Amino acid sequence: MRIVLVGPPGAGKGTQAAYLAKNLSIPHISTGDLFRANISQGTDLGKQAKAYMDAGNLVPDEVTNAMAQDRMEKPDAENGFLLDGFPRNVSQAGVLDELLTAGGLKLDAVLDLEVPEDEVVKRIAGRRICRNDSAHVFHVTYSPPKKEGVCDVCGGELYQRDDDSEETVRTRLEVYHTQTEPIIDHYRAQGLVVTISALGKVTEVTERAMEALGRA
């Protein structure tokens, strides 16, 4: 299958992408991973992306598009892929359409993870990270530490990242609504959008997604 995964920040796209890609035996292609891989490997595209990022600018669409195209042409993506974070706007969606059409391919589904805005804010603003190890993540409501402000694993101090503050989360949501959400209408016109609720346990959301994709 060839799938695009969309949803607001805090919808659990990364988590669901990993489970779905494994269940469907297709590679999970995330823009974050693409940037990191190209930059660490020192590719031409990575150097271009790094120059923009170091200057505090967004990586332009043409660089992102080229990275995504290169990754989708790898042998492991021959029988399908799950795109996470690409396309992020209607322009990129148009480029993806052209790339697939040129290769005689098409998308099977665009999986839209739906989460109420207040829940997104609650999920992200409630996160607390350990200063000693960022892999130690807690949540004030859903997975609180035994002792407030202290990591259960190593005793390190727990803190809220600047980009997890409620104000920043609402700004990120506004960017999502204006830039990324319009791609849902773009793909709905093609009859590709499957919308599911991303509320509940991770396993429940995965089961919901697999069932929805089975009908796609």
pLDDT digits (tens, 9 = 90+) for 156-198: 999 999 989 999 999 999 999 999 999 999 999 999 999 999 9
Segment (H or E) for 82: strand 81-84
Give residue 201's pLDDT.
92
Q: Is 127 annotated as a binding residue?
A: yes
Give the CA distances from residue 97 to residues 4, 168, 199, in Å, rounded to whole numbers and listed in that order: 12, 32, 30
> Cα–Cα distance between 130 and 96 in angstroms, integer?
38
Instruction: Select the more confidently predicted residue: 153 or 58.
Output: 153
Q: Is 214 annotated as a binding residue?
A: no
Overall average pLDDT of the 136-152 stretch: 96
For 2-212, CATH gives 3.40.50.300
pLDDT band with cut points at 50, 70 and 90 for residue 58: confident
pLDDT band with cut points at 50, 70 and 90 for residue 9: very high
Under DSSP, is residue 141 helix (H, G, I), strand (E, B) or coil?
coil
Overall average pLDDT of the 95-101 stretch: 96
Q: Is 208 annotated as a binding residue?
A: no
Q: Which long-range contacts (CB under 8 A, 24 or more apart) does 171-175 make?
A: 172/9, 173/8, 173/9, 173/117, 173/120, 173/121
**What is the C-alpha end-to-end distance of the chain, expressed in Å?**
10
pLDDT band with cut points at 50, 70 and 90 for residue 33: very high
Where do runs of H (alpha helix) occur along 25-89? 31-41, 44-54, 61-72
Q: Reply yes or no on whether the pLDDT at 216 is more than 70.
A: no
> Cα–Cα distance between 21 and 8 in angstroms, integer?
19
Q: Is 58 annotated as a binding residue?
A: yes
Catalytic residues: 13, 88, 127, 161, 172
Q: Reply yes or no on whether the pLDDT at 204 is more than 70.
A: yes
pTM attached to this predicted model: 0.90
Q: Is 81 annotated as a binding residue?
A: no
